Amino acid sequence: MEQTDLRVPAQAAVRPATPSQRAVRAARNGGEPTLEFTERVPYDTYVQASTLHRLQQPLSDDPGEMSFLMVSQIMELYFGLTCHELRDAQRLLRADRVWDALAPLRRATLHLEGLNAAWKGLRWMTPADFNRFRNLLGEGSGFQSAMYRHLEFLLGLRDETLIRPFRRQSDVYADLRATLAAPSLWDDVLALLARHGHDLPADLLDREFTAEHQPHAAVEAAWVRIYAEPGPENHLRMLGEALTEVAEQFGDWRQHHVKAVQRTMGAKVGSGGSAGLAWLQRSMARVVFPELWSARTAM
């Protein structure tokens, strides 16, 4: 395949414009869009669209491979965007700004909905379709997505062994290790509950964050108490519902992943060395924000 030049063009500055400047421009154009620019089109300067559209380098001439490649790239962008929102929510929760933290959590839910919708772009793919280019992928696998690992770690799904594939990529590895060593969103929520008077054991709050959180009866009891007060001033209850939406949408993405694998390759072994479908199905047993779900039995 012909190789594409991926060098990023020189970054021009995005020039701010005031409402009055926009009004003058619209009057000058007679209400029509501006068609002449002295430099790079401002939209491309900001969005970097011309760069994005040079990032697809399929390995075959099969037309369906472009769908597989681009949907994978779209998912990567959504992983990063969701991580951005969850980190903003963490920052606000650490400052006890529970109401303000609801906004990035709601945005994260919407981004996860978009992530789930991306699977529809691959529903056409049968095993025969995938097999036409699968061998060219070698050992390449979604299992090796560093940004997906950041997302899992932020949501509290933690397994230190999963960063080992990135040891030869020092920057990527260092970033993953930093996320793994820092509190997850759920850890920050538990710290918040403790600051708001809920009696949680010290070993839950002061622990080694690289280890995955284990469900605890005290956390479940705290959520039962929180949900017992349905009033509009109960921001912790609103937080619980916002977190539940995030967990549900993420769980839907994992389930869509399982179904996509079943649809395109059945129970064949995975490209990255795993058992494929069986490995994914086992991973589904790990629950995001577990006490938010188990507490519902006692509500």
Q: pLDDT tens for residues 283-292?
A: 777 899 999 9
Per-residue model confidence as pLDDT tens digits over 235-285: 999 999 999 999 999 999 999 988 888 888 887 776 666 656 776 677 777
In the numeric block, which tokens belong to residue 279?
A: 């490995």
The three-state secondary structure class of 276 is coil
Q: How many alpha carbons fall within 13 Å on the CB side of residue 293? A: 12
Residue among 180, 235, 239, 240 nearest 210 (CA): 180
Cβ-proximal residues to 297 (8 Å cutoff; 6+ apart), any chain: none
Instruction: Pick the more confident residue, 219 or 262.
Output: 219
Q: What is the pLDDT of residue 15?
A: 85
With H, G, I as helix, E, B as strand and everything else as coil, classify residue 159. coil
pTM of the model: 0.91
pLDDT computed for residue 285 by the predictor: 76
Nearest C-alpha neighbor of 161 from the set 182, 143, 140, 137: 143
**Is 50 exceeded by the pLDDT of residue 143?**
yes
111 annotated binding-site participant: no
For Cα atoms 191, 196, 202, give the angle at the middle one, nearest 5 degrees. 40
Domains parsed from the chain with CATH numbers: 1-55 (no CATH), 63-132+143-297 (1.20.58.480)
Asked whether the beta carbons of 82 and 106 are under 8 A apart, the reply is: no
Residue 260 C-beta-side C-alpha neighbours within 13 Å: 22
- Give the tens place of pLDDT for each residue, 169-184: 999 999 999 999 999 9
Known binding residue 40? Answer is no
